[in-house]
C-alpha cells in the first residue's frame, strides 16, 4: 500500500494495536496460565496492551508470541516497515529503513528486518507445486565475478573445489511454471562435506512438489538422480543451454533464472553483503515477495505470519 493508504488505515498507534489484536485474537484465546478459553477479547481501556483472564485473574501481553513481543518501538513503525519490505522490489537495507522510520539505531532497524524475515520464513509450500517445475542452483555472496550463473558454477568448481575456500554460497531454487511460485534453499554441507549432491537436490524438490511433476533442469550432473526411477515419479527434462535457448518448445529454466536475477540485484545492489549465516533468511524474503507480488493480501499475509506464535 502507498504511504497515504497506510496513513489512512493506521492514523495512530491505537489503530495499529487494535488491528494486531483483532487479527491475532479473532477466534478467541486461551489463557497461558490456567488454559481456559475466552471467546471475546478482554482488555482494559487504560492498559490496552494487556489481556485478562476472567478465570484466574492473570494478565498477559497481547503481543506475546508475536515478533513484536517486548518491542519499545511503535507498532505503527513495525507495520510500516513490513509494508516497505513488501513493496520494495529488491528489498530494503537496514540503513534505508533507519532513515525511513527516523530510528536512532541502525542495529534496531537491522533487528527489525531480521524479525520480519523470520516471519516470512514461516510461509511454507509442502508438496503443492504441480505440472511443470524448473530447478536451478546459483552462487550468492562475495563479489559477483561473471553474470552467467553457469560459468560461475564452473569457475567455483574448478578453482575452489566446490565449497572449499569459495566465498559464495550455493542456493537451490524451484519455480512452479503455472503459478510462478518459487522456493529457495541454501545448500548446506552434508555429513561428508558435500553440497549440491543429487540427494540434496532431490530433497528440495520432494518438499515442494507433488508426485509426477516434470522437472526442467540444466545438464548439471547432480540432476542425474532424476533420470533413475524415483519414489516421487519425477520426470526430468534436460535443457541443453548450448543449443536450445529459445526454441519455443517449453524446454527451459528461464523462470528460475529470472528469479536469480532479482535475488542478485537485491543482494549486490541493496544488501551488498549477505553472510552464509543469514543467507536463508534473505532467500525467504525474496521468495515471499515474489510469491505475493500479485496479491492484494501480501500485507495481511505477512501480519498473520508475524503474529503467529
Quote the DSSP letter at residue 146.
-
CB of 33 to Zn ion, least distance (A): 5
Nearer to Zn ion, 52 or 210 (CB): 52
- Which three cell numbers, joined as nine digits, stand for 150? 553457469
Q: Which is nearer to Zn ion, 56 or 261 (CB)?
A: 56
The C-alpha cell at 190 is: 552434508
Integer-rounded Cα Rg, in Å, for the chain is: 22
C-alpha span between 225 and 273 (Å, rounded): 33
- The site for Zn ion (CB under 5 A) is made up of 31, 33-34, 53, 55-56
Instruction: Give the CA dihedral 117, 120, 121, 127, nearest 10 degrees.
Output: -160
Q: How far apart are CB 30 and Zn ion at their closest, in Å?
A: 8
Q: Which is nearer to Zn ion, 59 or 157 (CB)?
A: 59
Shortest distance (Å) from residue 51 CB to Zn ion: 10
- Least distance CB 44 / Zn ion (angstroms): 16
Q: In whole angstroms, how far apart are CA 159 and each of 147, 152, 153, 166, 283?
A: 17, 10, 10, 8, 26
- Please state the closest distance from residue 25 (CB atom) to Zn ion, in A: 15
Place of cell 478482554: 42
Which secondary structure element, helix H or strand E, spans residue 301, and what is its range?
helix 298-307
In the 8-state DSSP scheme, what is residue 210? Answer: P
- Smaller CB distance to Zn ion: residue 49 or 52? 52
Nearer to Zn ion, 37 or 245 (CB): 37
**127 SS3 class:** coil
Amino acid at each position: 500500500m502507498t504511504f497515504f493508504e497506510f496513513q489512512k488505515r493506521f492514523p495512530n498507534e491505537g489503530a495499529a494495536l487494535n488491528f494486531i489484536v483483532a487479527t491475532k485474537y479473532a477466534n478467541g484465546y486461551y489463557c497461558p496460565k490456567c488454559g481456559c478459553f475466552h471467546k471475546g477479547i478482554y482488555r482494559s481501556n487504560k492498559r490496552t496492551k494487556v489481556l485478562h483472564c476472567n478465570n484466574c485473574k492473570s494478565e498477559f501481553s497481547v503481543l506475546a508470541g508475536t515478533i513484536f513481543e517486548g518491542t519499545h518501538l511503535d507498532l505503527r513503525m513495525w507495520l510500516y516497515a513490513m509494508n516497505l519490505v513488501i513493496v520494495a522490489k529488491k528489498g530494503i537495507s537496514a540503513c534505508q529503513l533507519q532513515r525511513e522510520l527516523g530510528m536512532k539505531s541502525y542495529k534496531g532497524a537491522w533487528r527489525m528486518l531480521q524479525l520480519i524475515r523470520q516471519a516470512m520464513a514461516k510461509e511454507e509450500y509442502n508438496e503443492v507445486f504441480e505440472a511443470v517445475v524448473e530447478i536451478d542452483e546459483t552462487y550468492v555472496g562475495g563479489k559477483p565475478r561473471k553474470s552467467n550463473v553457469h560459468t560461475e558454477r564452473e569457475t567455483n568448481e574448478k578453482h575452489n573445489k566446490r565449497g572449499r575456500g569459495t566465498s559464495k554460497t550455493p542456493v537451490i531454487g524451484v519455480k512452479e511454471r503455472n503459478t510462478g511460485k518459487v522456493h529457495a534453499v541454501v545448500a548446506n554441507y552434508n555429513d561428508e562435506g558435500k553440497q549440491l549432491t543429487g540427494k540434496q537436490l532431490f530433497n528440495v524438490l520432494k518438499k515442494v512438489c507433488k508426485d509426477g511433476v516434470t522437472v526442467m533442469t540444466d545438464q548439471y550432473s547432480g540432476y542425474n538422480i532424476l533420470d533413475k526411477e524415483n519414489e516421487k515419479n519425477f520426470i526430468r527434462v534436460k535443457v541443453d543451454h548450448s543449443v536450445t535457448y529459445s526454441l519455443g518448445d517449453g524446454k527451459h529454466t528461464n523462470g528460475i533464472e529470472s528469479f536469480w536475477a532479482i535475488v542478485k540485484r537485491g543482494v549486490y545492489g541493496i544488501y551488498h553483503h549477505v553472510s552464509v549465516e543469514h543467507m536463508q533468511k534473505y532467500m525467504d524474503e525474496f521468495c515471499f515477495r515474489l510469491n505475493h507480488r500479485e496479491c492484494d493480501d501480501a500485507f495481511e499475509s505477512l501480519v498473520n505470519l508475524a503474529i503467529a506464535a
